[in-house]
Amino acid sequence: MNTTIKHSGGMPFLKMHGLGNDFVIIDARGVANPVGADLARAIGHRYFGVGFDQLAVLTTSDQADVDVAFWNSDGSTAGACGNASRCIGRLLLEESGKDAVSLRTERGLLPVQRAGNGLFSVNMGQPQLDWRDIPLARDVDLINLPIEGSPGAAGMGNPHCVFVVEDVEAVDLASLGACYESDPLFPERTNVEFIQILDRETIRMRVWERGSIITLACGSGACAAVVVAHRKGLTDRKVEVRLDGGNLTIDWRSDGVWMTGPATLVFSGTLSAEFLDQIR
């Protein structure tokens, strides 16, 4: 990847995106993890930093091809990021020449493989469907939460609250997303998805990401949306999810929820010593 931290004081990085869900990726394999909340917030600022929906920091792993830690732009951490995992998987596949690689995240081991035609697939694991694992504040019906609109909940390494609506374009995403992100039922806050059922194999989705605001796509959110929609009896297990940034294919199989979509490298760069010294 050629993004290893140099001793000159600069910090190389890559900018990638999956359907407009954008990431800064820092390769810290072989060195001490350089990133904390202050640096994550500084890099994530879209005017004074680089800007991202999530930051991914890669470190050496003894159980997978790489360990990955995810940060939101507000300096909080995320247990999983599906689109970023696909992007990292692409980098590792190209670097190693392997047919498949694995990432170790807070979510667990995530296998990534080529899917052809410039697409990549990641197994995001089985959804978390116990209220304590998502987590929720108390035991409730996960298919119809006691929240206006009867959303469903599922965990994909991070919590998701999924509303089914008649017209997703009419939703005031900024207002409602911010409101439900901090609902007391979600003690660690939540991602908020609004979905419209087009048919049993197609849904339209818009998303508010916890700690990020509105994003063009959310891989773990797309996975959770299909899980909730299927459990409500509205879709099959394999669904095309149409997001603001493009389409993902989600397939809830016996071994986990597989997500397939593109992974795009935008540019490489180096955070200057001047920038880093302002944070230290």
Active site amino acids: 81, 218
Give the other-Cβ count within 10 Å of 20's Cβ. 15
237's tokens: 């297990």
List the beta bridge partners of residue 10. none
Nearest partner of 21 among 111, 68, 78, 86, judged by Cα: 86
Distance, CA of 240 to chain centre = 17
Going by DSSP bridges, is the β-strand pair 100-105/66-72 parallel, antiparallel, or unpaired?
A: parallel
The answer to whether the beta carbons of residues 53 and 30 sit under 8 Å apart is no
Q: Which of 125, 176, 122, 196 is nearest to 155 (CA)?
A: 125
Give pairs for 99-104: CB < 8 Å, separation 24+: 101/64, 101/65, 101/66, 102/64, 102/65, 103/64, 103/65, 103/66, 103/67, 103/68, 104/61, 104/63, 104/64, 104/66, 104/67, 104/68
SS3 263: coil
Pick the closest to residue 26 from 10, 8, 47, 38 (CA basis): 10
